[in-house]
Structure 1
Amino acid sequence: MYRSRSRLSYKVVGSLILVFLLIFATFGMVISITFENTKRVSEKQKADLLLQTVEKSLQMTLYLKFYDQIAEKVSPAVSVPDVIELSVRDQNGKLLYRYSNPKSQSIENAITVSHQIKEPAFGQSMGSITLYYSDLAYDETRQSMYNVFYGVGMSIALIFFFAVWWVRNLLSPLGQIAQKVRDYRPGDHMVLEEDGSEEIEQIVTSFNAMQETTYRYLRQMEAMNISLEGAVQEKTLELENQYYSDRLTGLPNRFRLQEKLLQGEITALAIVNVDDFKEINDFFGIEIGDEILIQIGAWLNALSGSCYRLGSDEFVLTFSGNLSLGELEHRLVTLIKLLEEKTFTVKEESLTIRVTIGVALGTENILTRADIALHHAKENKKQIAFYNQEERVEEQYRSNLTMASDVRRALFEHRIMCHYQPIVDFKTGEINKYETLVRMIDDVGNMVPPMEFLPIAKQTKLYPQITLEVLYQACTLFATRSEEFSINLSDSDIRNTHTVSEIIRTITETGTAPRIVFEILESEGIESYAEVTQFITKVKALGAKIAIDDFGTGYSNFENILKLSVDYIKIDGSLIREISSNPRHHIIVETIIDFARKIGAKTIAEFVSDEEIYNTLKKLDVDYSQGYFTGKPMSL
């Protein structure tokens, strides 16, 4: 921003003159005030003295009431030219005598003096005499003083302008130096002229020394810049290599792959996923797992010549040119066979591996499509799968991503809610239990059934959050109620240490442990009965109960159920729906009821939808009924 500047000469002289003016003004003000007070007092004393000269004569004149002699008595006073007016009044204020000087000024700004005339004997007032005295002498003296001040002020102004001119001449060499310095650039050689004064000579000497120092540092900086440029180029290459290379394997990474894809030269892409790599890490340790990845990456790169590490246990092979589907499949099948025959050795540990490959051809979205093909291969237990646009897998993939996003927002916006379905006692007909069922409300307020969003949530990290949200809501509600309530847990929930610790904390803090029932989904399969048994032991110690859900169609047998020490067996709805018409289902349900009695567990029949089913189950001596016939899910 531009900033106005003033000359140093103006500043120097101006500062001196300003100081002098302040001193002069202060001194003048003091003199003026002192003079004004002193002079005015002096004039008033003169007027007072005049009255005193005639006061004694008037005293007897008024006392004897010789009013015609007043003029004679006051003549000494009125003969003074500075007297403007003199008046004498009796004690009642009646004017006895007045004198006005026709040549004098008006009495408006005159000095006024008034005395009381008292009786000689008793001192009582007989009247008064008032004198108006001219202040022209005071004004003339004051004006003379002001004239002196004006003269001094003009002299100061002349001195100021002369001093400015003189100082500017003295400082002009500095201005010339400043002009040259303004145009100076590092590396220039500038010659400054001396004018013979010691101060200018010191400035010139100092500036010349500064020039030498600047020139020396400039040369050093140039040398340093050359060195830094080389170091920066070297560091840039190093950082670029780090950015585009995988730290573990040294292979090009995802960023390099994305750049290559943008160039449009890649016409086919295969994602190679190492099967069960987590188990390798868990069994042999991360160090051996990392070494295996390094060896796999090196082997794939040597075989294909174009290998990238996508992340974790995934690699990418790229192909260019006009490869047919058959030729590409042949290459990849050969690769799979060779890889399965190869043994990888790390620290005396020998391993063979299997891989799953997803492949996409073309130049449009081939990385995403290869990933979709990989998921398709894993879901269908294939070793290799090619992306097929006609199978509409990509559409389903995008739909799943959208649903996952909807679930994430619903959790954040508290749109995951619970409904509770009554469980009725067959013997009493009373509702003394509820099953907690999760629901999701979409953006426009519609209810989304669990079968639409839970399968997607289970494929993401959102499912444990949903489990805990349902747990918090149910425990908060039933903390103030007396009924039992149940919550569904999957095998993955029980194997999640954070979820288990939150379950124990919540049921303890809310005091609901003695009334909560955890329904374990037997239909989904139980991978580790040891972990499930450990969980059951923990929660039962707090007073909770255990139910096996969807019993009768799952993967477990009666022997495994015996290991779990369950309190309730919930008979799967697929058996209940046709129990009145299907003898095989009737026999299976009878067997389950008999088994439950022998292990001391209660039975709950699911999907009781009409009276006929209800009566059939009641005859079979099932303990509890759950279904639309006895009560729909609802909010409490």
Structure 2
Amino acid sequence: MVERSRKHLLNLSYMFIFIFLILGGSYILIPKFGKIIEDSIINDAVIPGISQPLNNLRKAILFKSSGQDIKYIFQNPSSRREIEKMFSLFLTPDVKYAYILYRDKDGKLRYLLDISLEDRGRYWQKFDIFNPEWYKVFETKRDLIIKQELIDFLWITYIKPIVQNNEVKGLIVLDFSIEKLHEIKKIVRKIQNALLIGISFVLVSFIVSIYQFFRYEKKLKKMYYDPLTGAYNRLFLYENSDLFKFYPFTVFVIDIDHFKKINDTYGHEIGDFVLKELTKRINRCIRDNDILIRYGGEEFLLLIRANPVSPEYKKNILNLAKRIKNEIEFYPFDIENIKLKVTVSIGINFYEHEKSIEEAIKHADIALYSAKQKGRNRIEVYNVALKVSEKNINVIKEAVEENRIVCHYQPIIDLSTITAVKFESLVRIITKDGEVLYPNEFIPPIKRTYIYVDITKKIIEFNKKILQKYKDVEISINLSAMDIYNEDIIKLFADMFEKDEASRLTIEILESEEIENYDVFKKQLSKLQFIGCKIAIDDFGAGYSNFSHIIELNPDYLKIDGSLIQKIDVDNKAYSIVKAIKHFADDLNIKVVAEYINNREILEKILNTGICYGQGYYLQPPIPPEELKKFL
């Protein structure tokens, strides 16, 4: 917006020079040009610079009024203080008076709030009560600038109407001090003189003066807005969190499905276009007083002012969510001859019992995670079932804090000698009652949370102690793609393990897990290989098995997926696939491990394929760490 104003002013400068050349300093038209200049300053600079920040204040007032007459919120001391705090951002040496008015039942203008920087002033000092322009705002419902030439102390007044249900409920007013605005009048006179004597550099000083005058508004806009999409940013949410207390509203967390693939496939410029277009489409679906925030990356937060008394309230909210989802899904995003089909997942929380906006967002995020777990491109509402899941998360969190994360170890057996050559580290949680929880019971609900990262760090620390205690033990640790992308996890390995210890570590990665950027993934793995770790591809054959990617990752081991091994004694196709994987690995000098050897028949089939390493309950179930010494 500031950039646009600067362009307006630059174009204005060219216009003045052109007039000078054409008119040759005509005395007759100079006063008229002076008025044109003066009006251009007001309309091209003042309006764009101050309108949007005042619009934010207007939204906050409407948000707090919740459909009631706005004068009632100013009778509440707490609400009044919150509005005063926001309004005070506009107070600068250039603003003489700042106040909010309403019209009483007799049609007279009355004060609701006055936060003027200097003296509060008298009623007649601040505006000409007989000026009909004031009352036009109630008809046009649009912003207005009034030149108050009948009042000695002021020159212009900026008015922002507070419109609710198509009716003006009040006026937000800023009066600019005569001292600053006299400078603008002086600049106008200088420009008039420049037209007479041809001094064009005066125009430059004019532009600089206007730019300095509106630097404050530029900073205010930068503070609260995302520069790419124009939506609010996180700072707006945190700075105004008190406005969301004790008032009913609904929280949406909206996440673009597979956005990273869009960036990786088409580039970041296309990704940025998607973010901007998505913001426009959401804005088309929502009301003026709803609040859209770019929460981070491809995730957006939407706060909907609620009316829980209405029986249709929840139904209307769900209809809005469907409208947003359909607006994005059913109309392709067109750019540079590319038609992109974009979908979103939406988590909703009605914010009925939460104590803070942070808690409400967390619950909406849990609902979003549920939507993604169920296949994406869907809407989920936070409910009792998800509340139970959250309770389980708290149990897991306590286990992390109380150091009840342990590892058990399942041997990987050399099938030619039936001896353990390596041990796979398998995480467990010990409950307060002594019960053992397995990964499938606690990993899914925490996968996107910081608790998951904390557990990964606990596993790494636990295995560090085992490697220190048993100098001949080799261990494999399971890491997800999310762990590999996490720079803190990679750094933890580099900082924690000595070279000898790292050489006895194998990192197992799920082949079936979605890896969104192989170049970055490969770079992260190379850091682990550099410190001495070996790499194993786990569950090989479970996904689509992109062989070119496997070659690029340069693994030391392939662990064949259990779904193939478990059928190898009864399914000839499974047997053929396992043999083909073995031949492929042999050609690349990669060792092969057969998992899930759970009976003798499977073992015999595995031996027939020539696979040298095996793992499974038939060979040896997982053991607690204190039993490792039996295998040494």
Indicate how the Cα distance of structure 1 residues 404 and 259 shifts in structure 2: closer, same or farther if over 3 A, else same: same
Indicate how the Cα distance of structure 1 residues 555 and 457 shifts in structure 2: closer, same or farther if over 3 A, else same: farther
1:87-143 Cα deviation digits (max 9, x unpaired)? xxxxxxxxxxxxxxxxxxxxxxxxxxxxxxxxxxxxxxxxxxxxxxxxxxxxxxxxx
Q: What is the letter of the counterpart of residue 289 of structure 2?
A: S
Q: Are the counterparts in 1 of residues 490 and 528 from structure 2 also a CA contact under 8 Å?
A: no
Aligned match of 2:616: 627
Is 1:304 the counterpart of 2:287? The answer is yes
Query: Aligned partners of 2:569, 2:366: CA distance in 1, in Å?
Result: 45
Q: What is the letter of the counterpart of residue 494 of structure 1?
A: I
Match of 1:584 among 573, 578, 581: 573
Aligned match of 2:84: 238
Is 1:607 the counterpart of 2:586? The answer is no
1:519-565 Cα deviation digits (max 9, x unpaired)? 11112132222223223333333332111111111243222111111
Match of 1:567 among 539, 548, 556: 556
How far residue 306 of structure 1 moved from its aligned partner, in angstroms, is 3.2
Is 1:524 the counterpart of 2:518? The answer is no
Q: Are the counterparts in 2 of residues 415 and 442 from structure 1 also a CA contact under 8 Å?
A: yes
Aligned match of 1:403: 392
Indicate how the Cα distance of structure 1 residues 616 and 284 shifts in structure 2: closer, same or farther if over 3 A, else same: closer
Q: Are the counterparts in 1 of residues 481 and 515 from structure 2 also a CA contact under 8 Å?
A: yes
Q: Are the counterparts in 1 of residues 251 and 301 from structure 2 also a CA contact under 8 Å?
A: no
Q: Are the counterparts in 2 of residues 274 and 353 from structure 1 also a CA contact under 8 Å?
A: no
Match of 2:439 among 428, 431, 450: 450
Indicate how the Cα distance of structure 1 residues 342 and 483 shifts in structure 2: closer, same or farther if over 3 A, else same: closer
Aligned match of 2:502: 513
Q: Are the counterparts in 2 of residues 576 and 608 from structure 1 also a CA contact under 8 Å?
A: yes
| Identity among equivalent pairs (%) | 29
How far residue 508 of structure 1 moved from its aligned partner, in angstroms, is 2.2
How far residue 329 of structure 1 moved from its aligned partner, in angstroms, is 5.7
1:234-264 Cα deviation digits (max 9, x unpaired)? 9764326699x99446788554344321xxx
Aligned match of 1:536: 525
Aligned match of 2:484: 494
Q: Are the counterparts in 2 of residues 520 and 549 from structure 1 also a CA contact under 8 Å?
A: yes
Is 1:315 the counterpart of 2:315? The answer is no
Is 1:275 the counterpart of 2:256? The answer is yes
Query: Aligned partners of 2:584, 2:523: CA distance in 1, in Å?
Result: 23
How far residue 447 of structure 1 moved from its aligned partner, in angstroms, is 0.8
Q: What is the letter of the counterpart of residue 301 of structure 2?
A: E
Query: Aligned partners of 1:233, 1:332: CA distance in 2, in Å?
Result: 30
Query: Aligned partners of 1:605, 1:372: CA distance in 2, in Å?
Result: 37
Query: Aligned partners of 1:258, 1:353: CA distance in 2, in Å?
Result: 34
Q: What is the letter of the counterpart of residue 385 of structure 1?
A: I
**Aligned residue-pair number:** 386
SS of the counterpart of 1:563? helix
TM-score relative to the length of structure 1: 0.52
Query: Aligned partners of 2:279, 2:319: CA distance in 1, in Å?
Result: 23
SS of the counterpart of 2:434? coil
Query: Aligned partners of 1:603, 1:277: CA distance in 2, in Å?
Result: 32
Q: Are the counterparts in 1 of residues 411 and 423 from structure 2 also a CA contact under 8 Å?
A: yes
Aligned match of 1:171: none
Q: Are the counterparts in 2 of residues 416 and 438 from structure 1 also a CA contact under 8 Å?
A: yes
Q: Are the counterparts in 1 of residues 597 and 616 from structure 2 also a CA contact under 8 Å?
A: yes
Match of 1:385 among 357, 365, 379: 379
Residues 301-450 of structure 1 mapped to structure 2, 5 A cutoff: 303-309=286-292, 312=295, 313-320=300-307, 321-323=310-312, 333-334=322-323, 356-358=345-347, 374-380=368-374, 383=377, 385=379, 387=381, 394-450=383-439
Q: Are the counterparts in 2 of residues 486 and 517 from structure 1 also a CA contact under 8 Å?
A: yes
Please tell me whether Structure 1 or Structure 2 has the larger radius of gyration of its CA atoms.
Answer: 1
How far residue 299 of structure 1 moved from its aligned partner, in angstroms, is 3.7
How far residue 451 of structure 1 moved from its aligned partner, in angstroms, is 0.9
SS of the counterpart of 1:462? helix
Q: Are the counterparts in 2 of residues 552 and 571 from structure 1 also a CA contact under 8 Å?
A: yes
SS of the counterpart of 2:247? helix
Match of 2:472 among 482, 495, 506: 482
SS of the counterpart of 2:450? coil
Aligned match of 2:206: none
Aligned match of 2:457: 468
How far residue 574 of structure 1 moved from its aligned partner, in angstroms, is 1.2
How far residue 419 of structure 1 moved from its aligned partner, in angstroms, is 0.7
Indicate how the Cα distance of structure 1 residues 327 and 432 shifts in structure 2: closer, same or farther if over 3 A, else same: closer
Indicate how the Cα distance of structure 1 residues 465 and 242 shifts in structure 2: closer, same or farther if over 3 A, else same: farther
How far residue 606 of structure 1 moved from its aligned partner, in angstroms, is 0.6
Indicate how the Cα distance of structure 1 residues 527 and 328 shifts in structure 2: closer, same or farther if over 3 A, else same: closer
Structure 2 gaps of 5+ residues are 1-77, 90-219, 226-230
SS of the counterpart of 1:585? helix
Indicate how the Cα distance of structure 1 residues 241 and 385 shifts in structure 2: closer, same or farther if over 3 A, else same: farther
Indicate how the Cα distance of structure 1 residues 332 and 414 shifts in structure 2: closer, same or farther if over 3 A, else same: closer
Query: Aligned partners of 2:253, 2:334: CA distance in 1, in Å?
Result: 17
Query: Aligned partners of 2:430, 2:251: CA distance in 1, in Å?
Result: 39
Aligned match of 1:116: none
1:175-227 Cα deviation digits (max 9, x unpaired)? xxxxxxxxxxxxxxxxxxxxxxxxxxxxxxxxxxxxxxxxxxxxxxxxxxxxx
SS of the counterpart of 1:517? strand
Q: Are the counterparts in 2 of residues 257 and 308 from structure 1 also a CA contact under 8 Å?
A: no
Residues 51-66 of structure 1 mapped to structure 2, 5 A cutoff: none
How far residue 588 of structure 1 moved from its aligned partner, in angstroms, is 1.0
Q: What is the letter of the counterpart of residue 505 of structure 1?
A: D
Query: Aligned partners of 2:282, 2:85: CA distance in 1, in Å?
Result: 22
Match of 2:539 among 550, 558, 572: 550
1:400-435 Cα deviation digits (max 9, x unpaired)? 212222222212211000111111101112112111
Q: Calculate the aligned-residue CA RMSD, in Å.
A: 4.3
Q: Are the counterparts in 2 of residues 358 and 385 from structure 1 also a CA contact under 8 Å?
A: yes
Q: Are the counterparts in 1 of residues 321 and 379 from structure 2 also a CA contact under 8 Å?
A: no
SS of the counterpart of 1:482? coil
Indicate how the Cα distance of structure 1 residues 568 and 316 shifts in structure 2: closer, same or farther if over 3 A, else same: same
Match of 1:597 among 574, 582, 586: 586
SS of the counterpart of 2:516? coil
Structure 1 gaps of 5+ residues are 1-231, 346-350, 388-392
Q: What is the letter of the counterpart of residue 495 of structure 1?
A: Y
Indicate how the Cα distance of structure 1 residues 437 and 361 shifts in structure 2: closer, same or farther if over 3 A, else same: closer
Query: Aligned partners of 1:242, 1:378: CA distance in 2, in Å?
Result: 42
Say which is worse superposed, 252-261 or 489-498, in terms of deviation: 252-261
How far residue 586 of structure 1 moved from its aligned partner, in angstroms, is 0.7
Aligned match of 2:48: none
Indicate how the Cα distance of structure 1 residues 328 and 540 shifts in structure 2: closer, same or farther if over 3 A, else same: closer
Q: What is the letter of the counterpart of residue 595 of structure 2?
A: E
